[in-house]
């Protein structure tokens, strides 16, 4: 059973503020993307990692991989046995993922899609996703219950107070993370046929009318989106080293 990971890393990181593309920003001295690549390669099941680079950052990403990710990792890890490919990304996350899928050589049974912006996901979460795909689920997402109550509102572009329309039952809601795992052929078919925007890959599988299942996510798989998330990510890394 062969598993590849596609890492969309082509976003600019507008919400993080001015600077380099988000995936290339450092966390405790190492680019976020490298942390994310290591998180995938840490799983013994992952034999290929495809990085979807910022459109003008392909050469830089190749250099970073050569510098940081390739030489064997800690004992028992599979970093040294993992292969890497780098392809340029697209305008949207969805397009970047499709470009990554297009670059996959034949022979993979499962594909993980993992945001470069979730650099700290633990290997146990990665393995749990792969395991559920291997057990026959066409699509698997790691997710956590919500801490905040969520309100549906009527958005107001002018900044005026937004009317609340409804309060969905929090117990039935989950915040979805990555890596999301897929049967390879199903994900390729979804990317070839589903039109319109979706914010995650599993959403495309839902559009095909196929089941998506949830496995437990992890707090440390949070997405680095805003400046405070950088502070949190660096604190998590410091705690791991302590
Ligand atoms: N992504 C991508 N190609 C794009 C847009 C996003 O590969 N055209 C990737 C990002 O690099 C990131 C992941 O999709 O790893 C999740 O997207 P997000 O957190 O929204 O990152 P950005 O789009 O970079 O951030 P922002 O929306 O704040 O600009
Ligand atoms: Mg974005």
Ligand closest to CA 179: 1
Separation of alpha carbons 187 and 181, rounded Å: 9
Ligand 2 centroid – CA 13 distance (Å): 7
Q: List C-alpha distances in Å: 2 to 89, 115, 116, 130, 174.
A: 24, 20, 21, 10, 29
3-class DSSP assignment, residue 38? helix
Q: 3-142+176-241: what fold? A: Spore Coat Polysaccharide Biosynthesis Protein SpsA; Chain A (3.90.550)
Atom of ligand 1 nearest to the CA of 7: 15
Residue 235 pLDDT exceeds 90? yes
Ligand closest to CA 9: 1
Ligand 2 centroid – CA 88 distance (Å): 16
CB proximity list for 228: less than 8 A, separation 6 or greater: none
Q: Name the pLDDT band for 75 (thresholds 50, 70, 90).
A: very low
Return the DSSP state at 137. -
- Residue with the bigger pLDDT between 79 and 148: it is 148
Give the pocket of ligand 1 (CB within 6 Å).
Answer: 8-15, 22-23, 52, 89-93, 96, 115-117, 223, 225
Residue 79 pLDDT exceeds 80? no
Percent over 70 (pLDDT), the chain = 95
pLDDT for the residue numbered 78: 53
Atom of ligand 1 nearest to the CA of 52: 7
Please state the ipTM of this predicted complex: 0.99
What is the reported pTM?
Answer: 0.95
Kindly list the domain boundaries of the chain, sorted by start residue. Answer: 3-142+176-241
Separation of alpha carbons 241 and 39, rounded Å: 15
Separation of alpha carbons 39 and 121, rounded Å: 6
Q: What is the pLDDT of residues 121-150, one digit of tens each?
A: 999 999 999 999 999 999 999 999 999 999
Residue 82 pLDDT exceeds 90? no
pLDDT for the residue numbered 80: 59
Question: Is the Cβ–Cβ distance between 16 and 225 less than 8 Å?
Answer: yes
- Look at residues 78, 73, 101, 139 and name the one whose alpha carbon lies nearest to residue 7: 101
Question: Is the Cβ–Cβ distance between 143 and 214 less than 8 Å?
Answer: yes
- Residue with the bigger pLDDT between 127 and 81: it is 127
Arithmetic mean of pLDDT, 173-192 = 97
pLDDT for the residue numbered 30: 95
Question: Is the Cβ–Cβ distance between 224 and 16 less than 8 Å?
Answer: yes
User: For atom 23 of ligand 1, which residue has the closest CA?
Assistant: 11
Q: What angle do CA 211, 185, 123 make, to 5 degrees?
A: 75
Ligand 2 centroid – CA 198 distance (Å): 12
Ligand closest to CA 226: 1
């Amino acid at each position: 059973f062969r598993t590849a990971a596609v890492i969309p890393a082509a976003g600019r990181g507008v919400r993080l503020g001015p600077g380099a593309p988000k995936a290339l920003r450092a966390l405790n001295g190492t680019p976020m993307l490298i942390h994310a690549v290591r998180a995938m390669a840490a799983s013994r099941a992952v034999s290929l990692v495809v990085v979807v680079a910022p459109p003008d950052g392909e050469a830089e990403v190749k250099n970073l991989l050569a510098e940081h990710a390739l030489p064997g990792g800690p004992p028992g890890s599979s970093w040294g046995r993992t292969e890497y490919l780098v392809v340029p990304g697209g305008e949207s996350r969805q397009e970047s993922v499709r470009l990554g899928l297009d670059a996959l050589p034949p022979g993979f049974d499962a594909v993980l899609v993992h945001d470069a912006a979730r650099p700290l996901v633990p290997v146990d979460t990665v393995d749990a996703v792969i395991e559920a795909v291997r057990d026959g689920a066409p699509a698997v997402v790691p997710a956590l219950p919500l801490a905040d109550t969520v309100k549906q509102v009527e958005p107001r572009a002018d900044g005026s107070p937004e009317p609340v329309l409804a309060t969905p039952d929090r117990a039935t809601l989950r915040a979805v993370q990555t890596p999301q795992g897929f049967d390879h052929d199903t994900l390729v078919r979804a990317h070839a046929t589903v039109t319109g925007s979706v914010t995650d890959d599993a959403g495309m599988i839902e559009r095909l009318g196929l089941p998506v299942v949830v496995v437990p996510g992890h707090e440390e798989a949070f997405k680095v989106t805003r400046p405070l998330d950088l502070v949190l990510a660096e604190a998590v890394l410091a705690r791991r080293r302590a």
